[in-house]
Amino acid sequence: MNDGDTLRCKDGVKIRLHAVAAREADETCSPGHPCPAASGASATAVLNRLAAGKTLTCEPTGRSYKRITAICRTADGDEINCAMIRSGTTLIWDKFDRQHPLCSR
């Protein structure tokens, strides 16, 4: 895991979880971004628990800062983006959720 809203694939590709906002690794929030109360470390730990070592299928939704943005699911069909929001460690980013809603399938 890179942080609480970015995955790094085995091949090095970075995937930004679509419409999910987490604190940065240094515990800051970028101006204009939603800023969750939970720490970046706690969001990273949850994402690690949900995704590490698992095969994910990610549906691209766009690009952000040289990363693919995507909605990712486990082989069991669990949506990682939605699970991160439900964990309470991240916030839904409404501006992007309106384009491709999370937790909808």
**94 compared with 84, residue with greater pLDDT:** 84
Given a cut of 90, is residue 63 above it in pLDDT? no
Domain boundaries, the chain: 6-97
- Read off the pLDDT of each residue in 16-24 and give the average, rounded to a whole number: 93
Q: What is the mean pLDDT of residues 13-35?
A: 91
% of the chain exceeding 70 in pLDDT:
97
To the nearest 10°, the Cα dihedral for 85, 91, 15, 101?
Answer: 70
For residue 72, give the nearest of 42, 100, 37 by alpha carbon.
100
CA 69, 11, 77, 43 torsion-angle sign: negative
Q: Would strands 67-74 and 56-64 be described as parallel, antiparallel, or unpaired? A: antiparallel
92 within 8 A of 85, measured Cβ to Cβ: yes
6-97 has which fold?
OB fold (Dihydrolipoamide Acetyltransferase, E2P) (2.40.50)
Q: What is the pTM of this model?
A: 0.89
C-alpha torsion angle, residues 9, 10, 12, 15 (rounded to 10): 0
